Amino acid sequence: MTGSLADQFKAGFRRHAAGVALVVGETATGPVGATVSSVASVSADPALLSFSLARASSVGPQLVGCDRLSVFVLSADQADLAAAYADRRAERFTDEQGWARDERGLVLPGAVATFRGRAVRVIPAGGSWLVLLEVDEVELGRPVAPLVHHDREYWTPAPLPEDRVLPLLRAVEG
């Protein structure tokens, strides 16, 4: 492969399948949100998750300035929502997208899981910020097929055929 290390790095991570989520916060001028595929579990006690945001994006600086954030893990049925929040020109927070509001703030029916909390650390990391979110509320949605981002497209995983899984389990179990 030719190209800069940055180009090779990006190409390598396009081959890494990752779950898709929306990170949403409230500002004085209204809600802001972005699609992320970098959500990771950091700690169960205390409950911490991480995600990254591009520092050069229009939404990143607004999100890191929010008092509270919500992370909505998307289902396979929500690929259009993920695409909209990845496009800075797309309309956001419309009734057609399914948003609702309650005493906790914005609610996204159909999300696989919702994590709410506050950013306890925002670490500059190259052209991005690494955000550590201390989670104080988790809401589980219906156990439906998740949305995955891979090679610049949205997918949903399928189970491996049983004849492929059993040899893998036997090898792991030793």
| Residue 112, pLDDT above cutoff 70 | yes
| Residue 94, pLDDT above cutoff 70 | yes
Name which of 40, 142, 21, 32 is nearest 82 in CA terms.
21
Name which of 59, 55, 21, 57 is nearest 41 in CA terms.
21
**Residue 35 exposed, middle or buried by CB count within 10 Å (0-12, 13-18, 19+):** buried
Per-residue pLDDT at 9: 85
What's the predicted TM-score (pTM) here?
0.88
Q: Are 55 and 124 in contact (CB under 8 A)?
A: yes
Q: Are 157 and 145 in contact (CB under 8 A)?
A: yes
Per-residue pLDDT at 64: 94
Predicted confidence (pLDDT) per residue in 37-90, tens digit:
999 999 999 999 999 999 999 899 999 999 999 999 999 999 999 999 999 899
Alpha carbon distance 71, 62 (integer Å)? 15
Per-residue pLDDT at 158: 83
Per-residue pLDDT at 153: 87
| Helices (H), ranges, 44-152 | 60-64, 79-86
Structure tokens at 30: 């209204």
- C-alpha distances in angstroms, 20 versus 25, 150, 152? 17, 10, 12
| Residue 174, pLDDT above cutoff 60 | no
Alpha carbon distance 116, 16 (integer Å)? 26
- C-alpha distances in angstroms, 165 versus 39, 56, 145, 161? 27, 43, 19, 7
Per-residue pLDDT at 164: 65
Q: Helix, strand or coil for residue 162?
A: helix
Q: Phi then psi for 127, rounded to 5 degrees?
A: -85, 10
Per-residue pLDDT at 167: 63
Per-residue pLDDT at 13: 80
Predicted confidence (pLDDT) per residue in 119-154, tens digit:
999 999 999 999 999 999 999 999 999 999 988 888
